Amino acid sequence: PDDHVGAQAGLPHYRFFDPMAEPGNGRYLSEDYAFCRRWQALGGKVHADTRSRLDHQGLHTWVGDLPRALAARAR
């Protein structure tokens, strides 16, 4: 939007983290997934830290523990 600080100062600004609809199927991609899809479209590789816990805070806090989930899946 035009109310961003960079826009007000006349500086370029980029919307890297906007959500998007996935091309082809229209599935909603949140900011993080959309960023990864855009990066892949430019030829970039996406890496995942499989050792870290991650929480996402919004209207609800989602707690993730990928190492535990991967270990449970391997059983």
DSSP character string of 4-73: SHHHHTT-----TT--EEPTTT--EE-HHHHHHHHHHHTT------TT-EEEEESSSEEEEEHHHHHHHH
Query: Which residues lie below 8 Å from residue 67, measured CB to CB, with a gap of 6+?
Result: 50, 51, 52, 53
Res 6: pLDDT? 54
Count of the separate structural domains present in the chain:
1
Tokens of 54: 């991650």
Res 5: pLDDT? 57
Task: Give residue 53's domain range.
Answer: 5-74
Res 52: pLDDT? 84
pTM, to two decimals? 0.61
74, containing H or E segment? helix 66-74
pLDDT tens per residue, range 25-46 = 999 999 989 999 999 999 999 9
